[in-house]
Structure 1
């Protein structure tokens, strides 16, 4: 990538993060009355619902601590992260040590799911905050929660099953993927043999069970031993999820100086871009059936913000690690489509849900699933990687 383009992209991502995305959320999301953050927001920041999704609380708490640790020691960022930590500690843990999935504005429990996703974001929130605040108690909280979620993952019988295992045994790509990412984050606080064990096992499971070379696809759901399932669920790939996993793997390859891991991550990226890119309208499709049969998900052909965020960073990282121009070309192609369709030029931030042709489907900026995570993470990671690229020219 040429130096002038690197410099242009640095400005786009740095200013997009610091002058657009973060100011939008700092203005609208902080609940000064009850604590925590209000995430259900319309395009202009109007509150649509006061309930609080716990995994989104964890994500924003993590993000603000990360900005404090990696960009600038701004007191408002640390204070905002602390604001999130205090709400999480006070209201978001059940008596069994697990976390609720959603609580009311004043912290009363609403939902608790069989999945342990809220806990993974709780781990990274407490871990990153502990580094920002120098708070050993919060680090111990992160470690305790991490060990709890590993226990539940390694002993699935402790949680209610989604499908009766006596009838059909399946597993989801989401769990080894999120454990890989969560462990990479808590590892920043210090070494532990458990972290490397979990990362190794997560990599093995993704690369051996979910990555199918014969169909050039990373599947979302497979049999318990990696078998391909002949069902809508078994034929489904989620290009955005697979692309996100690809850069988790590439980052692990960079951390270990392991070219084989980097190559595997790039292979997943290649496959997922081929499957996901909409050749008619542009942009990345949400779900794809690898046999071309009808997808089970009604929203399969929509364009969501987060797969494009993940693809922008994955392609930039792949280009940086391999030097291959095809990844620069993909980055530019995705950048052009995403930045011409998602940004809200009037109110700031990005729209989250588009129709297949790129027109707006919903004006929400935040809900139970969408919030300040994928976009600001992409902006921060791209900015910092571009700074490294600039130094090496």
Structure 2
């Protein structure tokens, strides 16, 4: 019965989130001296680099705010068997928000990484450090306002909006980031920019950080930006071939060479559930159907039928992908697939979506989770063996795993509550 399946996985997911993953980051990532979060953590949580990465700090602030916004202190203590303190999570998130914004945002620049003490270490000419700092600040601000800490909350939301305005400008005109434009390079539309912007706009509204009206007061037209994001993402959806491409030309036509054949199943699935979330919030049923296709096409194309798990990269014509890591199995595409199929099942109750969720969840929990030290490994080879023993690094922090577990736990709990009583 579906109820038995839902209950079994709901318990597994709850244990992973509250007994393993969040406690790992709570124990090992917090810099109590300067503020902010460390990301470079070995298998047992031992720190192997002191740098602080802006996008990972923004994501962890967001994650802590999300947990604190969903649970009271007593609920969180009960779920985590007294390991997690809501007060401590909020304090650590707020210290990180103050530290990273004060040291990592200068004259319209948002640095990618800082030293432990807060000196800028590296700057990338991309939008994503700003994106996740904005997401974290806005989400935390909403929770503080919810808790009655109005001035602190509004201050963080104001900073989030300032960053969001910069992000929107960079999304439409990336030349303002200072990236050199080469004469021979075609003008392209990468999917990562509109999908992340759409998710930020969606999250900040759902969490109550911004409204259409408050954003308009900051000279941000939320509806217009959401529509732009959706239109840009739709350029990548090739219905005739039943695939989602990572990069297309700016007009939506195919990009020449291997760039135009590049497929990233994890990104496509993630973009699919971002679109689905937006479609559900705006009651756009046709767009929800497109999102379902994006998810199922990408999952079917990306699943390794010989060894299980999702390939990292594929070539749309079946050629050998040029990226050497193409056949590795990374943690985050599996997280995105778990979220996507849980969302699709909740929306449709289709058995095929529950089966797909079970398929990816079984592989993911068996191969990535570490019951010995907590948290998950991030990188496997094609046959499912761990290739990198660390739990956190420059590109893996407290985000994809806990976001997946939190969302799936919430979704499965709602599905169980709707099941008929025997």
Which residue is equivalent to 1:310? 336
- 1:163: how far off? 4.8
Which residue is equivalent to 1:131? 142
Which residue is equivalent to 2:78? none
TM-score (ref. length: structure 1)? 0.96
Which residue is equivalent to 1:53? 53
Which residue is equivalent to 2:105? 93
- Looking at structure 2, the residues matched to 23 and 323 of structure 1 have their Cα atoms a distance apart, in angstroms, of 33
- Looking at structure 1, the residues matched to 391 and 49 of structure 2 have their Cα atoms a distance apart, in angstroms, of 12
Whether 2:358 is the aligned partner of 1:332: answer yes
- Looking at structure 2, the residues matched to 157 and 163 of structure 1 have their Cα atoms a distance apart, in angstroms, of 8
- Looking at structure 2, the residues matched to 136 and 354 of structure 1 have their Cα atoms a distance apart, in angstroms, of 42
SS in structure 2 of the partner of residue 189 of structure 1? coil
Which residue is equivalent to 1:9? 9
- Looking at structure 2, the residues matched to 278 and 83 of structure 1 have their Cα atoms a distance apart, in angstroms, of 42
1:264-291, Cα deviation, whole Å (9 max, x unpaired): 1100011101110001101000000011
Structure 2 gaps, min length 5: 74-85, 146-152
- Looking at structure 1, the residues matched to 185 and 295 of structure 2 have their Cα atoms a distance apart, in angstroms, of 34
- Looking at structure 2, the residues matched to 67 and 13 of structure 1 have their Cα atoms a distance apart, in angstroms, of 15
SS in structure 2 of the partner of residue 168 of structure 1? coil
Whether the aligned pair in 1 keeps the contact of 2:35 and 2:92 (CA below 8 Å) is no
- Looking at structure 2, the residues matched to 72 and 27 of structure 1 have their Cα atoms a distance apart, in angstroms, of 20
Which residue is equivalent to 2:88? 76
Which residue is equivalent to 2:32? 32
Instruction: Give the length in aligned residue pairs.
Output: 391
* Correspondence for 2:211 among 176, 188, 191: 191
TM-score (ref. length: structure 2)? 0.90
Q: CA RMSD in A?
A: 1.4
Whether the aligned pair in 2 keeps the contact of 1:250 and 1:261 (CA below 8 Å) is yes
Whether the aligned pair in 2 keeps the contact of 1:35 and 1:87 (CA below 8 Å) is yes
1:3-40, Cα deviation, whole Å (9 max, x unpaired): 22222222112221111100000000001122111110
- Looking at structure 2, the residues matched to 244 and 167 of structure 1 have their Cα atoms a distance apart, in angstroms, of 27
- Looking at structure 1, the residues matched to 323 and 88 of structure 2 have their Cα atoms a distance apart, in angstroms, of 41
Whether 2:227 is the aligned partner of 1:200: answer yes
Matches within 5 A, 1:131-170: 131-134=142-145, 135-161=153-179, 163-164=181-182, 167-170=185-188
Structure 1 gaps, min length 5: none
Which residue is equivalent to 2:347? 321
Which residue is equivalent to 2:194? 176
- Looking at structure 2, the residues matched to 8 and 311 of structure 1 have their Cα atoms a distance apart, in angstroms, of 18
Whether the aligned pair in 1 keeps the contact of 2:171 and 2:194 (CA below 8 Å) is no
- Looking at structure 2, the residues matched to 161 and 212 of structure 1 have their Cα atoms a distance apart, in angstroms, of 29
